[in-house]
Structure 1
């Protein structure tokens, strides 16, 4: 239980005691619900509960606040309670409570701030990126990759059961178009008179794939019919592009529990059923399927959609929506009971029909869509439209090549998903305080440098050689029983307050699907550490202050590294 929860229990108990002895005449009192005061001079925590009780208790809020304060039992957490304004209850903590945060961080290490979601919480399938395997990933895909991966990390730390999935759109006409585009480039490169069709993929990567086929296998496909050549190249190009996407995302630190092939939805099992047929039959059994003009329709308008949707065309061709129907039903068949999809904002018109299909099967609210805005690339404030190398769109791989994984991920996560990101390539490459990821990582590296200087030369060398971790070094320098009572300087207390916020912040970021809050937290914690570094000497102090401050520094290292790890960003020991 964190400090806030413990304080809320104390206040809730005081309110209950006030009601029980008749001091407050209320049938049911609201919860204390503590929050940070806007001005730190007012204390560490504040509650508006007195004002929320005024109507029911028929008393002045300041009078109510005094009654509640008078009923707070003796405890070792609260140093001072004051009543301000119309009835705010302001609480200042004892230094010992904040000092205990340092002890807790060092005891729990990477488990600090871990949560437990309520018993019976749903098993979550988180699907994201899901790019067509017909071209390289663009920078927008990078944002969804960073967002989905960080969301999963944060939710797991908060106690959720999350399964990450990439949906491979490898079925349908776009795959034939891709295969034909490569086939035409292949024939052109071999000197044959072929024109690119109007419907094609025209990027330079298509010609690159065709050239690779020539380099490996020569002209063996020339004698094939156009249809045979298209099918052969469709599979070759598909597998190559899929592998490229896997490699780029893995390099970004984004890995999936499953890469789900759309094609598998159409494969029949030994009973002659496929995910498509099962999902359709289940929807039909609920009365939401009908035939019209030879086509098969989903009666989605009955569930709030603006119109009904075609699943199977009159010619028997399955629509893209039919695949989505089968895929989401398959997820539920696999035992997931809450689905989260991360989509670009251009898919907003698709949300209602997909929510409707889950409701049709009897799972209302099971589908959650996170819509995200796109990424605008800049270089020194000037918009970047095209790649210098290819003259086409800037790919995610090119961006990572230029600015690195850490800067790419951190800046992609720096804002809420419903806000566009202006990503300046030159800022991302800077090694100064104008680059937020550098600013945070430098704080961590500075701490590691302090710990190495506090150790003897042999242990410092062992860390340098990778034979000892920074955590092992800190444990060797500082026993668990460090006396933390000397930590009373305002800069020290500010660091400890911020570290205490970590667990509740992770819980809220997980609940709201908002990992971007961890970037702000990491920057705030780094700023407080830099202030502490300026205001408080560490290694030159006498004992016991030296050890106490080293323990505080080590705890800050742990929380900074943990915040960065939940964002999928490294915490370097040296920069």
Structure 2
């Protein structure tokens, strides 16, 4: 028996009572003091029937008949339903290790591209938000039957890479000549200083008097040694190591330099747009026509022959569609918002057959000792993900990054994240799971075994409230598939845990008579199964015992 059957029963009642068959009944979860389920269908019918919603609701409440419905009452135009214990027991028995899975996305190939930070230094705070949210979104889509691939796009070509080189060169030049170089520095930080020191050693080994070298010679030597040392490759390796610490496994790492530029894909794309009259030459550059929000043109190839991010992005996304993806989902920082219209316009001109959806997430502030810690990679004052992971377990950090909607700025409270008590929402949640396992372990030591869920015959109000909340997961997952709002899983989990803690405090199960204990233990076992499924969706490792 499912909630869909109850919806259908109400729709049949509407057909019989009012001869209306084109209305869709939706059931919601009101505050439990009003009812276990509710519908606002009377408001939908009011205009058509020319009656007050409360009048319609009262008529329907009297007529709704279904084996699962214990009572139906009208209140303020709503119809509040209470369902039978047998219904909730059946729902509890349906909670399996893959609870909430569906096949709505079967046959649909989706790529989720996230993080994709430029390989210009360590991963920082904002990368954590996109990383954890993208990973959980991929989990949810997989649970809905989609064929999902996770991809990291390495922007290892272009101005940002040149900026890393110039930043290292600036430090090298200052070390060797003592000239002020702040005006040519781009990125700052220990990693820039460390690479510069390695380059200085190599130059000093080759030249007895490095100070006699010209600035141009020092720059040429610096760039040669940057390549010999494999600086960009080492930064990429560091990013990969950080991603592994975050518990994220990408299916593909895609290089802008090697997969697009060196293969000629960017050049071919721009040349094709010119040939088709969709791009024009102007002021020595090549422009995509009417690609800006103001219907202005956007540069694809600069007058010096270099290609812009837009040209590379268009080639990259066309490559994705050529790989057979039906839907592309990109998680970008909000500072990339201006790029979206041009990219979408260009893909339309190119005849892209799939759908591109771009999620823009807002900035993250780190709160430490009650104050904001300013973050800037270029200024050298930043917090890396590795530094956070040295202080906070990855699963805790993951949960905290999931606690705000993409489109809202978030404050990451480092002190709260480090708190190992029920003040920390992640520990509060995990503690409920540990408590459930503790009950089952203590019961086993007393030779008390839980019934199978379907063998339960009665429920307490606290148990009913808990099951009711657990059964919201399938609907929640469907909503997330539609709007990508994975943050709702964090709030939902805390609400579930709160109901379990209330149940735990309301009775000491292992002290009950064996027959009663077996009834109560059945739901505890269901809860363990449910929480393991919940943690699986979030990519979190469940902990059975907590100190």
Instruction: Show the counterpart of 2:514.
Output: 543
Conserved in 2, the CA contact under 8 Å of 1:288 and 1:300? no
Instruction: Show the counterpart of 2:102.
Output: 115
Are the structure 2 counterparts of residues 512 and 182 from structure 1 closer, same or farther at C-alpha, using a change threshold of 3 Å?
same
Instruction: Show the counterpart of 1:463.
Output: none
- State how far apart, in whole Å, the 2-side matches of 1:321 and 1:100 are: 54
Instruction: Show the counterpart of 1:525.
Output: 496
The question of 1:413 aligning with 2:402 is answered yes
CA RMSD of aligned residues (A): 2.9
- State how far apart, in whole Å, the 1-side matches of 2:497 and 2:49 are: 45
- State how far apart, in whole Å, the 2-side matches of 1:187 and 1:193 are: 7
Instruction: Show the counterpart of 1:42.
Output: 34
Instruction: Show the counterpart of 1:484.
Output: 456
SS in 2 for 1:256: coil
Are the structure 2 counterparts of residues 218 and 99 from structure 1 closer, same or farther at C-alpha, using a change threshold of 3 Å?
farther
Instruction: Show the counterpart of 2:47.
Output: 55
SS in 2 for 1:340: strand
- State how far apart, in whole Å, the 2-side matches of 1:244 and 1:200 are: 20
Q: How does 1:204-223 map to 2 (within 5 A)?
A: 204-211=190-197
- Match for residue 79 of structure 1 among 70, 79, 88: 70
- State how far apart, in whole Å, the 1-side matches of 2:279 and 2:474 are: 47
- Match for residue 382 of structure 2 among 375, 393, 407: 393
Tell me how far 1:158 sits from its aligned partner.
Answer: 2.6
Count, aligned residues: 534
SS in 1 for 2:100: coil
- State how far apart, in whole Å, the 2-side matches of 1:156 and 1:355 are: 26
- State how far apart, in whole Å, the 2-side matches of 1:267 and 1:113 are: 43
SS in 1 for 2:281: strand
SS in 2 for 1:296: strand
TM-score normalised per structure 1? 0.85
SS in 2 for 1:422: strand
Q: How does 1:554-569 map to 2 (within 5 A)?
A: 554-569=525-540
Instruction: Show the counterpart of 2:226.
Output: 233
Deviations 1:66-112 (A, max 9, x none): 55456645x421111222333x222111011111222111xx22x01
TM-score normalised per structure 2? 0.89
- Match for residue 349 of structure 1 among 330, 333, 338: 338
Deviations 1:466-490 (A, max 9, x none): xxxxxxxxxx944636621132x11
Instruction: Show the counterpart of 1:103.
Output: 93
Q: How does 1:28-427 map to 2 (within 5 A)?
A: 28-37=21-30, 39-62=31-54, 64-65=56-57, 68-69=60-61, 72-73=64-65, 75-86=66-77, 88-105=78-95, 108-109=96-97, 111-117=98-104, 122-183=108-169, 185=171, 196=181, 198-211=184-197, 226-234=219-227, 236-267=230-261, 274-280=264-270, 283-284=273-274, 287-301=277-291, 305-363=294-352, 366-385=355-374, 392-427=381-416
Tell me how far 1:241 sits from its aligned partner.
Answer: 0.8
Deviations 1:531-569 (A, max 9, x none): 001112211111322112112112212222322332222
Tell me how far 1:64 sits from its aligned partner.
Answer: 4.0
SS in 2 for 1:571: coil
Instruction: Show the counterpart of 2:422.
Output: 433
Tell me how far 1:182 sits from its aligned partner.
Answer: 3.2
SS in 2 for 1:164: strand
Conserved in 2, the CA contact under 8 Å of 1:305 and 1:356? no
- State how far apart, in whole Å, the 2-side matches of 1:285 and 1:96 are: 69
Are the structure 2 counterparts of residues 220 and 339 from structure 1 closer, same or farther at C-alpha, using a change threshold of 3 Å?
farther
Tell me how far 1:249 sits from its aligned partner.
Answer: 1.4
- State how far apart, in whole Å, the 2-side matches of 1:256 and 1:221 are: 41
Tell me how far 1:195 sits from its aligned partner.
Answer: 5.8
- State how far apart, in whole Å, the 1-side matches of 2:489 and 2:11 are: 30
Worse overlay, 287-296 or 401-410 = 287-296
- State how far apart, in whole Å, the 2-side matches of 1:204 and 1:30 are: 64
Worse overlay, 126-135 or 282-291 = 282-291
Tell me how far 1:113 sits from its aligned partner.
Answer: 1.0
- In structure 1, runs of 5+ residues without a counterpart are 460-475
Are the structure 2 counterparts of residues 281 and 7 from structure 1 closer, same or farther at C-alpha, using a change threshold of 3 Å?
farther
Tell me how far 1:162 sits from its aligned partner.
Answer: 2.1
- In structure 2, runs of 5+ residues without a counterpart are 211-216
Deviations 1:278-308 (A, max 9, x none): 433554566422222222111134x855421
Conserved in 1, the CA contact under 8 Å of 2:321 and 2:352? no
Deviations 1:396-421 (A, max 9, x none): 11111112212211111111011111
Deviations 1:315-340 (A, max 9, x none): 32211221111111111111112221
SS in 1 for 2:528: helix
SS in 2 for 1:354: helix
Instruction: Show the counterpart of 1:516.
Output: 487
Conserved in 1, the CA contact under 8 Å of 2:375 and 2:381? yes
- State how far apart, in whole Å, the 2-side matches of 1:10 and 1:356 are: 47
Conserved in 2, the CA contact under 8 Å of 1:209 and 1:237? yes
Are the structure 2 counterparts of residues 233 and 348 from structure 1 closer, same or farther at C-alpha, using a change threshold of 3 Å?
same
- State how far apart, in whole Å, the 2-side matches of 1:556 and 1:443 are: 9
Conserved in 1, the CA contact under 8 Å of 2:163 and 2:187? yes
